[in-house]
Structure 1
Amino acid sequence: MEMTEHAPPQHAVVIASGGLDSTTVAYWLAEGGSRLTLLSFDYGQRHRKELDFAVLIADRLGARHEMADLSGLGHLLSGSALTDPAIAVPDGHYTAEGMRSTVVPNRDAIMLSIAVAAAVAAGADAVAFGAHAGDHAVYPDCRTEFFDLFAEVARVGNEGFLSEGFQLLAPFIDQTKADIVRVASQVGVPFADTWSCYRGGELHCGTCGTCTERIEAFVLAGVEDPTEYAIAPTGAA
């Protein structure tokens, strides 16, 4: 996958969850020669374990890591299985109607707003995040329409303060999870050092939506999956 029609950013702020998608974005940018700041968010998510993997990935890349503590938002964002302990994380595929319970209201808009502010303050010329086509069915703030509108808001809202050639990047927004695994394999992502599971247990559960999607992506990409699952997948590559 080529960078874009633009030159690779000199310094990119990457919204880094510790998951496969954002980690692949970071490694892809690093391969293009960009200096990185990985920005993670503690928003009271039950799978806070993912943040430890974001720190690990930053260390692997020799990148700066920053944590935005939004944990106080958790009680305001009730009604999501990711922030409300009273709501169970559903099993199954992302195409299932039950996956709507994993939506955190306006999450990406909140994160992107803070990332753009951090980029402006640091003089960075890009913000990147890892939304992909598989998210579109469930998460409205992972869709191209949202991304394009937010990019315009960021441009207008920071006019005169953005670095020259500033880019808001979502390189996989029209790609599948399997496509991401293929790119990740090419750029050397350490798959075992990423975390996807929404349950945040000792191991990936192997049955929640993110685990199901992760398992399927490796199979479709024809790439060996080193992830250890509590419930072993069938038909893995």
Structure 2
Amino acid sequence: MASITSSLSFKAEELTDIELAILICLATDEHPILTTPAHNIDSLVYELCLLVPRVFQLTHVLIYCSPFTTPEDFASELLVFSMPPSPCSTDTPESIALQRNRLTASSSIAHCIVAINFDRVPHIIQIQVLEMLRTRRILTRGAVLPVPQRFVFIPVIEADAPGEGPRLTPHLQHSFAMSHWHDPEDGYVNIEADEIYQDKIRERQRRQERHQQLEQEWWQEWEQQQNQNQNQNQAEAWTSAGRDIERGEGTSAGDSVLISLIST
């Protein structure tokens, strides 16, 4: 506990509910399940992306899960690379094998795994994660890699209220120390403090306003064009009617008046 908290420049009472849940799990070598309403999943994930390196100084990866996620894909997404892999000049079997060895040698499992919608993965992947949590190692890219000493696996799952939402396989569900529901009304401290994120929000709002303005201008121009076309068609119809009258053998007094109106 002391080794973990000694590197944290804050007091426990200053932590948010999410930060406190992660701290407890890191201190006890346990893992939490985080839940929140569906429309707040993205905000919760972004909050985790900010606080994990900022508050705990840990590496992290995001895994977007689906029913089509394979064990191989899932295992490869756990990795972070200490150096960018150098491209091979050819695609010969020897170069591919060399590249794979380089990737394995320069990679390691991230300290924090954020698995979004983890409840949607196939049963075999849940068993794969259960074994990883039990043995603290996983087979990936043809090599067995250990998890870091400070390691936390965080499934992020949709739930409308505490205690609701889908559950994992029984044995895996029991492997998590807690299931914490984050109320969106509690806010996202790290997001609110992130100037870059706020700039992106403002830029998005400006783009939306500009798009609405352009759309409104387009409709106004379209209506003006429609009115002009309608007036032009009406004028052409009157002109054509006047010519028909002029081509007649004689004109009545009413026709003469009509011709004079058209001519003007």
Query: Would you say same fold, with TM above 0.5?
Result: no
Q: Name the TM-score, length of structure 1 as normaliser.
A: 0.34
Q: Name the TM-score, length of structure 2 as normaliser.
A: 0.31
**Structure having the higher Rg:** 2
